[in-house]
Amino acid sequence: MLRNNLKLAGVSAIVLGALATSANAETLTVPATVAVDNSINFTLTGSLDFGIVRATVDNTAGNCVGITLPANPASALNSTLGTAAAAACTGAGTAVLQNVGGTPARPSLQVAGLAPFTALTLTLPAAPVDLVLNPAPTGAPVLRLFDFTAYQTSGTPAAVTTTVTADASGAIAFNVGATLTTDPGTPTLTYENTTYTGDFDVTVTY
């Protein structure tokens, strides 16, 4: 009996060894993909419009006056100047700038396609922007834009300076305002009864 048991144990070891050396393996290569889309939908509705104004120039350097259209839609057109405009208009002289009609309006800028609550860096013009005649004769005065401001109307409405934040749906909407002044330089001509135009850039970085 002892001899048979030893033989069976040996046979079992041989069978297990054969099973261990006969294992097979198969490999599948799995593709991996990811789509990158860094684009956003940045759109503009309307324009910055101060309506119809009465404008008189003073050709003494630094003599100018202005009106401000705040970015907040709840705030009316007013004569309070921002820091840059006040620094440019060191005196009023005979300069005049008054809204006498039309419908002042703020541009609305919208951003879509963001992840919820994404924060974007907002850049408004730092330098003044001129509204001019086209073509403009030599000595013609300009109307100058200073102190650009922004007011976010989506999500939690508030004044914004350097950042706008998406709401839960990944959207942002904000208005832009500015101060308009008469020419702070030394023009030799008067304002004409026509439209003065210009443009400026607003940038969101993400």
Percent of residues, the chain, with pLDDT higher than 70: 89
pLDDT in tens, 136-180: 999 999 999 999 999 999 999 999 999 999 999 999 999 999 999
Measured distance CA(206)–CA(114) in Å, rounded: 10
pLDDT at 4: 41
Q: Pick the residue with more confidence: 152 or 5?
A: 152
**Residue 102 pLDDT greater than 50, yes or no:** yes
Say if 18 falls within a structural domain. no
Say if 17 falls within a structural domain. no
Q: What is the pTM of this model?
A: 0.84
| Residue 81 domain boundaries | 41-205
The 10 Å CB-count burial string (b at 16+, else e) for 23-42 is: eeeeeeeeeeeeeeeeebeb
Contact 99/51 with Cβ under 8 angstroms? yes
Nearest 5°: phi and psi at 163? Answer: -140, 135
In this structure, of 4-18, 43-57, 172-186, the range with the lowest mean pLDDT score is 4-18
Structural domains counted in the chain? 1
Q: How confident is the model at residue 38 (pLDDT cuts 50, 70, 90)?
A: confident
Alpha-carbon distance values, 194 to 69, 132, 136, 180, 184 (Å)? 20, 10, 12, 16, 20
Q: Are strands 158-160 and 143-152 parallel, antiparallel or unpaired?
A: antiparallel
The set of residues, in sequence order, having a beta carbon less than 8 Å from that of 18 and lying 6+ positions away, is none
pLDDT at 5: 41
**Residue 19 pLDDT greater than 80, yes or no:** no
Say if 24 falls within a structural domain. no
Measured distance CA(136)–CA(47) in Å, rounded: 22
Say if 11 falls within a structural domain. no
Q: How far from chain centre, in Å, is Cα 13? A: 76
Say if 97 falls within a structural domain. yes
CA nearest neighbour of 149 among 195, 106, 89: 106
pLDDT at 39: 87
Measured distance CA(153)–CA(175) in Å, rounded: 7
Say if 91 falls within a structural domain. yes
